[in-house]
Amino acid sequence: MKMFKTFAVIGVLASAACAYAGDDSRYLHVNVPFAFIVGSEQFAPGSYDVRQTETGIVTVQGQGRAVAFLSAPLDIAKAGEVSGLRFTNNASREYLSAISMEGEGTRSVPVHFTQSLAVAR
């Protein structure tokens, strides 16, 4: 029985190590001091976890909200490039527009501006 428990513990540890080894994502923990929009989701100021896989899938999660999207490479990694988020301002609203991860280059974030036009008669 003791031998069975030993093999069970080794099996659990080995499977956990394999799951970790298969995780090819990059991770950022950021504090954003202003409200911003990702896709169609609005996020409040606060702390967020940003994860990016090698295939370009990015998730932004925090403050009780989350969004995932497919990003495209903007440029290759440059020496000295720091990790961070870039925002674009439109109509007094901040939109997440790019993500830079050290050693990975910069990836674009799909930005969808919505504008309404007033028609006069």
- Angle (CA) 37-40-57 rounded to 5° is 85
Percent of the chain scoring above 90 in pLDDT: 35
Running DSSP on this structure, what letter comes out for residue 83? Answer: P
Residue with tokens 């799951």: 19
d(CA 107, CA 89): 18
Band of residue 20 on the pLDDT scale cut at 50, 70, 90: very low
* 29-82 residue pLDDT tens: 999 999 999 988 999 999 999 999 888 899 999 989 999 998 888 777 666 678
d(CA 93, CA 88): 8
Asked if 66 and 77 touch (Cβ cutoff 8 Å), the reply is no
In the prediction, which pLDDT does 66 show? 93
User: Taking the C-alpha atoms of 26, 27, 31 and 35 in order, what is their torsion angle to the nearest 10 degrees?
Assistant: 60
For the chain, the straight-line distance linking the first and the last C-alpha, in angstroms and rounded, comes to: 86
Residue 5, Cβ neighbours under 10 Å: how many?
9
